[in-house]
Amino acid sequence: MNTLANLRDVAHLVPGLKLGVLWRSDAPHFGDLPPEGHEPWPPSLVVDLRDEAERSHGHPLAESTVVVAVPVFADAAVQAQAGGGTLKGLYAQMIKGEAAARLVEAVTVVAGADGPSLVHCSAGKDRTGLTVALALALIGVERRHIVEDYVLTTESMPGVIARMSRQFGIGDGAANLAEIPQEVLQAPAYAIESVLDVWEAHPGGVEEWFYAAGGEAAVVTRLRERLLDA
């Protein structure tokens, strides 16, 4: 597959958003063809949530657009183990401390952009999923729509795994699916709901959580202006 496997405009599924502003995807690869239905390509801004090791070979879009690296979860493997090896445990670690501050930073970068913005990690599921969920929650998108956008990634995971398998030379993508825990290959509603529960339970809701993690009110205002179709 020589094009992105998990690319979508968030506005296609979430009502009330402007089309062509917030895109999400798995990681672009060198040699990829421009995706259909996403013009202009590349977008004006790319927010790369991967860590330094994942970005060691450079970014395929760096010569043609602005790429901002915001490594949301630099020690994902260690943190996942600390979270008990489950998605809920992993996500609980991602909304604490330095990881939470990086989520805030990623949303802040998106809010300050002009034109289409693409947010991606490796698969476009966990780091991307939480970043997009935070942006949507901050602008008042209904919980059910945030969940619907998140779970849509499950349909794309076979293609994502196939691309990653070829990139890292680990054999046939389909064969490797059997070696990976099923939860990792999916985007179950309960995983993102566990994050939304924390944000909603925070005193003052998700906005106050955002501010406590280093965010600013002006960013929320700008995000609403950028994303909401008034």
The arithmetic mean of pLDDT across residues 195-200, rounded, is 99
The dihedral over CA atoms of 224, 74, 92, 221, expressed in degrees to the nearest 10, equals -10
Task: Provide the CB-side half-sphere exposure for 27 (13 A, CA).
Answer: 25
pLDDT of residue 51: 94
Tally of domains in the chain: 1
Mean of per-residue pLDDT scores for the chain: 91
pLDDT digits (tens, 9 = 90+) for 139-186: 999 999 999 999 999 999 999 999 988 877 654 444 455 566 788 789
Q: Is residue 3 part of a domain?
A: no
Q: Percent helix, strand, coil in the chain (nearest 5)? A: 50, 10, 45
The arithmetic mean of pLDDT across residues 53-67, rounded, is 95
Q: Is residue 51 part of a domain?
A: yes
pLDDT of residue 79: 52
Q: Is residue 2 part of a domain?
A: no
Rounded CA-CA distance 28/200 in Å is 33
Rounded CA-CA distance 90/98 in Å is 14
Rounded CA-CA distance 112/114 in Å is 7
> Domain of 211: which CATH number?
3.90.190.10
Whether omega for the bond prior to residue 42 falls within 30 degrees of 0, making it cis, is yes
Q: Is residue 117 part of a domain?
A: yes
Range of the domain at 73: 8-227
Q: What is the model's pTM? A: 0.93
Q: Is residue 220 part of a domain?
A: yes
